[in-house]
Amino acid sequence: MALPVTRYARSGEVHIAWQSLGDGRLDLIFIPGWVSHVEANWRFPEVASFLRTLAERCRLLVFDKRGTGLSDPMPRASTIEERMDDVRAVLDAAAVRRAVVFGASEGVSLAILFAATYPERTLGLVAYGGFACRRRTPDYPWAPSDKASARLMELVQRSWGGPMELDTLTPSRANDHRFVMRFASYLRQSASPGAAAALLRYNTDVDSRAALAHVAAPALVLHRTADRDAKIDEGRFIARHITGAQFVELPGADHWPFVGDSAALLGEVHRFLERLPSLPRRPGRRMPKPPRKPPVMSTLTSRQRQILELLAQGRSNREIAQVLTRSEHTVHRHVANILAQLGVRTRAQAVAILVR
């Protein structure tokens, strides 16, 4: 079977790589999780099988989020609203007026925000293995702690390129050597260590809870019982806060949708698509757009913010290294990452954002 052609959509200053396959009566756009690569998808048997099966009942659009795969790197820190609007850009490029929006993992928050912002363009919402918030709070206790998030970011920067996070993302295949090697290769093709870590940082600020009440389209929320990355209670929370949403609990512990009992997952999606024309739909009102924010300090880790505050005191890299009992090389790397995340070129510009 011929492979889909990669095309590009323009979202502001960023080019987004996308493909389409299938010729069903409904359009469905799939928003991937952490990282992806639209062409490497077809070299990964589990991913290719999943997408081809999904496309049997729809015209399927797939794309790489900004900063991943064949899409442009993020030129600066991007807000979740800008990342969500990449979905709109792909739909426009594909001449699609209305579509079912299917988010997986991190893609769920983008799907929720799109459905709330563009109710007139959302036929239905499918959410698999998602979370509504990625920072633990008293009223959302399932998200990772700040320490756990920082440990994962350090692991990504240290170990990206080799097998990692298998016990969390794909536990059923963690001991399958050939799969492990394919998975590591897929991650390398999908993002650089810096890009993968940047997405994790942005995800710590994801909070789509306010958008849930604005979702007017019929919604299907799917979650595996023992998912180790996004807890089952997070799926229940999402379903509980979307009026009329259907919640389906699936057996298994794999977070990645392409492994485990993917046939059961896809079966639920296909049944939802078949029922969609008869499902009730609430009158939709666009969710108000939040005020535009300046470059966000919240994208920085606690250690990076500490270093930025020391820079504001006029400290050199050597002095900061002594204060933090770290090597000067480590401090230099942190400073470079801080400048990249804030979208500035000099230390003075970064400090100006801190004191703004």
Instruction: State whether CATH 2.40.50.140 applies to domain 7-145+206-278.
Output: no
Closest CA to 200 of 168, 239, 238, 247: 168
The answer on pLDDT for 327 being more than 80 is yes
Structure tokens, 59: 């015209």
Tell me the three state secondary structure of residue 20.
Answer: strand
% of the chain with per-residue pLDDT over 70: 93
- Give bridge partners of residue 126 from the DSSP assignment: 102, 220
pLDDT at 135: 87
pLDDT, one tens digit per residue, over 120-129 is 999 999 999 9
Structure tokens, 110: 């983008």
The answer for 344, left when phi > 0, alpha when psi is -120 to 50, beta otherwise, is beta
pLDDT at 292: 52
The answer on pLDDT for 76 being more than 70 is no
The sheet with strand 122-128 has its strands ordered as: 7-11, 14-21, 59-63, 27-31, 99-104, 122-128, 219-224, 246-250
Q: What average pLDDT does the segment 108-114 reach?
A: 95
Q: Return mean pLDDT, the chain.
A: 90
The C-alpha angle with vertex 235 and arms to 239 and 240, in degrees rounded to 5, equals 25
pLDDT at 1: 62
Residues of the chain with CATH 1.10.10.10: 297-355
More confident residue, 195 or 63: 63
Q: Are 38 and 303 in contact (CB under 8 A)?
A: no
The answer on pLDDT for 355 being more than 70 is no
d(CA 165, CA 220): 27
Q: What average pLDDT does the segment 318-345 reach?
A: 85
User: Confidence class of residue 210 from pLDDT cuts 50, 70 and 90?
Assistant: very high
Of 3-12, 106-115, 312-321, the poorest mean pLDDT is in 312-321
Distance of CA 123 to the CA centre of its chain: 21
User: Confidence class of residue 338 from pLDDT cuts 50, 70 and 90?
Assistant: confident
CATH, range 297-355: 1.10.10.10
Of 76-85, 88-97, 162-171, the poorest mean pLDDT is in 76-85
- The secondary structure of 122-186 as a DSSP string is EEEEEEES--SBSS-BTTBTTSPPHHHHHHHHHHHHHHBTB--SHHHH-GGGTT-HHHHHHHHHH
d(CA 279, CA 58): 17
pLDDT, one tens digit per residue, over 255-289 is 999 999 999 999 999 999 999 988 776 665 666 66
d(CA 231, CA 248): 14
Residues of the chain with CATH 3.40.50.1820: 7-145+206-278
pLDDT, one tens digit per residue, over 285-302 is 666 665 555 555 667 888
Phi–psi pair at 116, nearest 5 degrees: -75, -30
pLDDT at 289: 62
